[in-house]
Amino acid sequence: MTEAKTQEKKYPAPQGNPETQAFWDAAKQGKFLIKRCTACGEAHYFPRSICPFCFSDKTVWEESAGEGEIYTFSLMRKSATGPYAIGYVKLKEGPAVQTNFVDCDLSALKIGQKVRVVFKPTDGAPLPFFTPVG
């Protein structure tokens, strides 16, 4: 297995839109937000104004602890911008989040590993990524 290190690469700036602007504003403050529906109680990601589970419009922003564990990942070795690890994190609050794993030895990633959110800069709002804990 090759030792694949995270490259510092340039990420595209989020376009943003009225529905998700609060998420990106919070990201600029280092906060990772999810949405929760106060009608059915379920949290979801990525954020929508209308709950995808019960279709209520009573959804509210909630700051996530930004902690979870790796549900799955794949180390993409054939890439023009260098290897990267894409995967899903299952947050403590429940929802799964698509992400890249960064600031770590990509060849040592494991399903079930504990991870936490880190933000990386773009030309606009920063983007959330995850990195192994400990």
Partner 1 sequence: MTIKNKAYIAGIYEHPTRHAPDKSTAQLHAEVAKGALEDAGLTHADVDGYFCAGDAPGGIWQMSDYLGLNKLRHLDSTETGGCSYIIALGHAAEAIAAGKCSVALITLAGKPRTGPMPPRAYGPEIDFEMAYGPTTHNAYGMCAMRHMHDFGTTSEQLAWVKVAASHHAQYNPHAMLRDVVTVEDVVNSPIISDPLHRLDCCVVSDGGGAVIVTTPEIAKSLKRPLVRLTGHGEAQKGPNGGRKLDLTYSAGVWSGPAAFAEAGITPKDIKYASIYDSFTITVVIQLEDLGFCKKGEGGKFVSDGNLISGVGKLPWNTDGGGLCNNHPINRGGMTKIIEAVRQLRGEAHPKVQVPNCDLALVHGTGGLLGVRHAASTAVLERV
Q: Which of 3, 60, 78, 123 binds partner 1 (CB under 8 A)?
A: 78
Determine contact, residues 118/133, Cβ cutoff 8 Å.
Answer: no
Is the CB of 24 or the CB of 115 nearer to partner 1? 24
C-beta separation of 66 from 27 below 8 A: no
Based on the shown chain and the rule CB under 8 A, indicate whether residue 111 belongs to the binding site for partner 1.
yes
Q: Does position 38 bind partner 1 by CB under 8 A?
A: no
Residue 2 CB-density burial (10 A; 0-12 exposed, 13-18 middle, 19+ buried): exposed
SS3 50: coil
The verdict on 64 binding partner 1 (CB under 8 A) reads no
Q: Which of 6, 33, 45, 69 binds partner 1 (CB under 8 A)?
A: 45
26 binds partner 1 (CB under 8 A): no
Helix (H, G, I), strand (E, B) or coil at 13: coil
Place of tokens 């602890």: 65
Query: Which stretches of the chain bind partner 1, using CB under 8 A?
Result: 11-12, 14-16, 19-20, 24, 42-46, 48, 52-53, 71-79, 84, 86-88, 90-91, 94-100, 111, 122, 127
